[in-house]
Every structure is written in structure tokens, then in C-alpha cells.
Amino acid sequence: MKEVSFGQYYPVSSFVHKVDPRLKIIFLIAYITAIFLASNFYGLAACALVLVLVVIFSKVPVLKVLRAVRGVTILILFTAVLNIFFYRGEGEPYFQWTIFAVYREGLLFSAFLVTRLVLLVMLSSMLTYTTTPVSLTDGLESLLTPLKWIRFPVHALALIMSLALRMIPILSDELDRIKSAQMARGADFESGNPFKRIKAIVPVLIPLLISAFRRADELGEAMEARCYMGDKKRTKYKKLHFTWRDLVAFFVIAALVTGVVLLRVYLGGIL
């Protein structure tokens, strides 16, 4: 759980940290769109270049960004193996055994999907690395303001997201303490078959759930004691403003999406 990057904030003063959170959210959405619009490796290379620029100007350590991929390692391996052995191409396969076959097209398509997934995860982690939970939820609430016209509880949704992001590192530390306490009592989480390991997790999950519900109950009582009334006549201590940094970020993502679309139109797909 300590390796989970989502919800963690890396406190440092940088260009990316000072970008408006609303534009960061729009940037991420546009980046995801660009990744899925990319139909060849040139488009993914352009996305990778933008990711490198974001990491450099954010001053977040590269190893910390790469660590975000650990959480989806199983998904990446599953995607790679599935496409390598079951993607049917033209010509003679490199390897074939019963229903399994490895074609050149399968290798290319697998590498393409894995690269796309890695880029997606890494830039998504940069959003929480460079934005505090409060700023992130303020930006989301500001973007969803038009939904208030149809009586959608925008403030409640933003509050839920803020609390969820804050609880991720707290529950991570709580899980580590519970696991250490269980291991001190003789619990074994490493040996045995997968079913035995899953069964060994039960003594950890139950105290963790109890702790989560207890924290939620205490938080609710604290909010009631402070007369929290939702979004009725609430003001903000820090108001969001667009600056020249946001204009630069907007042009970068606009150039990326335009470039990916042009590469898709003129160069076609990977196969």
C-alpha cells in the first residue's frame, strides 16, 4: 500500500504545482483522449514527450513516478500475454503450440497497448503528486458548477472525493500497523499457496474495516459539532485564478491533441 501513488502529494515548489487545478483536470482528460486517439507509435512518442516535460517541470523524482506503474503490473502483464498469444496476424507465426501462436502483429499490438497503459497511469499519478486534495476537489467543484443548475449536489461530490483522497494514505498506514501487529503474533502472510495467503488476509481486513468505520463516525461527529451545513452560503479561503502558466499548459495540450490527430490521419495505424 505504501507504493500506491494515487492520493499522495509531493510537496515542492514547481511550475506544474502552480498550475490551476481546473486546468490540470482538463489537461489529464485531454491527455487521455490523445492517448486513445493515437493509432501508431509516433503518436505515443508525442504523448511520452509531453509526460517527460511534465515530470521535469514538476520536480517529482523519476523513480517515484515510475513506482506508480507497480500498482497495475498484473494488468500490464495480463494485457501483454493475452495479445501476444491470441492476436492473429498474417503470414507465418514466430511460435505456435495448440491454440497459442505468436505473430509479428501480436507483438506490435501488445507493445502498443502496454505503452499506452503505462503512459496513462504515470500521468494520472502526476495529477495527485502535484495537486493537494483540497485544490483538486476545489477545481473539480468549479468545473462542475454548471450542474448546480439542475440541482446536482456538486459540493457533496467534491467533499466525498476530498475525504476519499485524504483517507488513502491514512488507511495505508493503518494497514501497515495492523499487519505488523498480526505478524508479531505469529501471522504468516508470505508462505503457502494463494488460497492460504488470501485466508491469512482476513485477520487484517476486519480490523481495517472497523478502523475505517470508526474514523468515518468520528469525522461525522466532528463536522456536526462544527455546525457543518454543506454548501449553503460557504465561501473559500483561496480562490482559483488562471495565470500565464495555465495558458502555457493549455497550448501544450492543444498542440499534443492536434499533433496526435494529424499523425493518425496521415500515418495510419501501427499495422
- Mean pLDDT on 21-50: 92
Residue 1 confidence (pLDDT): 45
Distance of alpha carbon 151 from its chain centroid, rounded?
29
Residue 232 confidence (pLDDT): 66
Contacts of 242 (CB under 8 A, 6+ apart): 20, 23
Is 61 within a domain?
Answer: yes
Is 28 within a domain?
Answer: yes
Is 129 within a domain?
Answer: yes
Is 113 within a domain?
Answer: yes
Is 161 within a domain?
Answer: yes
pLDDT, one tens digit per residue, over 53-85 is 999 999 998 888 888 888 778 888 888 888 777
pLDDT, one tens digit per residue, over 166-194 is 787 788 888 888 888 888 877 777 776 77
pLDDT, one tens digit per residue, over 234-266 is 677 777 888 899 999 999 999 999 999 998 888
The domain total for the chain is 1
| Residues 28, 124 contacting (CB under 8 angstroms) | yes
Is 100 within a domain?
Answer: yes
Is 192 within a domain?
Answer: yes
**Angle, in degrees to the nearest 10, between helices 133-143 and 104-129:** 100
pLDDT, one tens digit per residue, over 31-41 is 999 999 988 88
d(C-alpha 103, C-alpha 264), whole Å: 24
Is 10 within a domain?
Answer: no
Domain assignment of residue 258, given as a range? 21-267
